[in-house]
Chain A
């Protein structure tokens, strides 16, 4: 079997409150990708609809989307792995294409988090944990990642200033990303100013500025087999490596609190499949739902040794001009994190980079890019390696 290529990518603006329904939100990302791919709905054999559950009144959104996007009578599938849903959708679409069952598949990620209130949303996200044995204690996403942050700081001397540096970098690029929800500058001083909102405690040691914001958004990635990718697209981006892993939902079932095992395992698989090492990666998107998550990603992906992620951000090595640019689209911290759409947005950024279409944030002629997308609190890990 031949390669599987990405022939089009798109996303909606990521916004606080989308003024429309979920099908209309999905349409925006889909339309953007279809225009990018310059194909018609008749060219698409199947769709994968990806999101986290329980935000919508609509049951089985895949059916509604297939109708609204003009994708009847082709089959559609719903993919759910919390924040990594659309990356996992890409993995499954890859297998559908690679098997020869379908030639061209659209992966549509979406989330309209504003369907419910922020505290309800935190409750839903908390229930992405073990509802029997963890949620009765009042768990929340920031608190879980805060536990990793504290363990990392204690073990390796990572500081609150290091965490702030990650946010400052994100904001540097978020200001350039017209699709990002947060486009204001962020400075280190904001974190040391107790009057500033950025420094407000959320779950110790994490502060408001360490956390990404909820958002509404959609994304779409269109993949095709090698023959059709070459026929439809002058600059297909090839899927070179895929990795995926899971671990215990309950933190009591884990042994590592200074990194995410699923990130490392998924990365190792993806590097092996692509036949490369981390040294070959020219640009990366990592799952920075919280600042600490980006530092752990540097380490889990092998960009830094365990505990040395802080050195990369201190040396600005993950800025656009650095040795390994990471999240130069602003990351989740600036773009916002519409759960099901996030993986697709990360993939979109890397595809645009590999096609030299990234505009102001373009890294100098990257050959290979990586996408690291995590679901839940390091529960689901997905790493995707893409190349020209």
Chain B
């Protein structure tokens, strides 16, 4: 008798509240478990994607490899939220932001221990894996 195939729903572990469970980029979560934030690169045309994608819209290839988001990115803009959506109340206040790594950009949160008066646009920041109090996995932007 065939064993019931286990569902790979690792993506439900991403962020304070995940709205997705199953995606072809589920290995992103495995990489977070290993302390790495990774994007995908098309093996056929070399285009890099962050957030990671399973499919290349440029050459229609689905042959992807993972690359690590390393080094620093420049803070383009951010906003600190005083109100949050349902499910995020316990995180408040928190700041969402965008880092520019030149070949790609990363959307995420600024580390909660950085006071707002220490944040300036243009500053270099790193993207680091973090485990949230509810045991979910995410990444945050930290000062270099």
**Chain A residue with Cβ nearest B88:** A138
A255: nearest residue on chain B (CB-CB)?
B105
- Could you tell me the distance between the alpha carbons of A150 and B116 in the complex, rounded to whole angstroms? 13
A120 to chain B: closest CB distance in Å? Answer: 6
Q: Which residues of B contact A119 (CB under 8 A)?
A: 83, 85-86
How far, in Å, is A39 (CB) from chain B's closest CB? 43
Report if A206 contacts B (CB, 8 A). yes
Q: Is B16 an interface residue, CB under 8 A from the partner? A: yes
Query: CB distance A201 to B82 under 8 Å?
Result: yes
Contacts of A257 in B (CB 8 A): 76-77, 98
Tell me if B70 counts as interface (CB < 8 A to partner A). Answer: no
Answer yes or no: B41 CB below 8 A from chain A CBs: no
Contact A252 B98 (CB under 8 A): yes
A206 to B79, CA, bound (A): 9
Q: How far is the CA of A154 from the CA of B85 in the complex (A)?
A: 27
Interface string of B71-93 (1 = CB under 8 A from A): 00000111111111111100100
Of the residues A120, A132, A138, contact of B51 by C-beta under 8 Å: A132
Q: Does A134 contact B (CB under 8 A)?
A: yes
Residues in B neighbouring A130, C-beta threshold 8 A = 51, 107
- B109 CB–A CB distance under 8 Å: yes
Which residue on A lies nearest to B82, using beta carbons? A201
Bound Cα distance from A143 to B84, whole angstroms? 9
Is A126's CB within 8 Å of the partner chain B?
Answer: yes
Q: Are B15 and A250 in contact (CB under 8 A)?
A: no
Measured CA separation A201–B121 after assembly (Å): 20
Query: Which of chain A's residues 116-161 have a Cβ closer than 8 Å to chain B?
Result: 119-120, 122-123, 126-127, 130-140, 142-144, 146-151, 154
A273 within 8 A of B: no
Closest to A204 in B: B80
B129 in contact (CB, < 8 A): no
- Residues of B in contact (CB 8 Å), total 39
Report whether B20 and A139 are in contact in the complex, using a CB–CB cutoff of 8 Å. no
Whether B17 and A136, one on each chain, are in contact in the complex, defined by CB atoms closer than 8 angstroms, is yes
| B62 at interface, CB cutoff 8 A | no
Verify if A64 is at the interface (C-beta below 8 Å from B).
no
A203 within 8 A of B: yes
Is A139's CB under 8 angstroms from B86's CB?
Answer: no
Known: A147-B77, A252-B107, A257-B76. A202 touches B16 (CB 8 A): no
Closest to A124 in B: B85
Give the complex CA separation of A378 and B111 in angstroms: 26
Q: Once the chains bind, are A138 and B16 in contact (CB under 8 Å)?
A: yes
For B50, what are the chain A residues with a Cβ–Cβ distance below 8 Å? 252
How far apart sit A136 and B23, CA to CA, in the bound complex (Å)? 15
A176 located at the interface, meaning its Cβ lies under 8 Å from any Cβ of chain B in the complex: no
B14 at the interface (CB under 8 A from A): yes
B40 within 8 A of A: no
For residue A251, CB closer than 8 A to chain B, the reply is yes
Q: Please state if B85 and A123 are interface contacts (CB–CB under 8 Å).
A: yes
Nearest CB to that of A122 among chain B residues?
A: B85
B111 → A minimal CB distance (Å) = 12
Instruction: Please name 24 pairs of A and B residues whose Cβ atoms are closer than 8 Å in the assembled complex, sorted by A.
Output: A123-B85, A130-B51, A131-B20, A132-B23, A134-B107, A136-B19, A137-B15, A137-B107, A137-B109, A138-B84, A138-B85, A138-B91, A139-B85, A140-B81, A201-B82, A203-B79, A204-B80, A204-B95, A250-B107, A251-B98, A251-B105, A252-B50, A252-B98, A257-B76
9 tightest Cβ-Cβ pairs between the two chains A and B: A136-B15, A146-B79, A138-B88, A123-B85, A133-B51, A131-B19, A151-B77, A252-B105, A252-B107
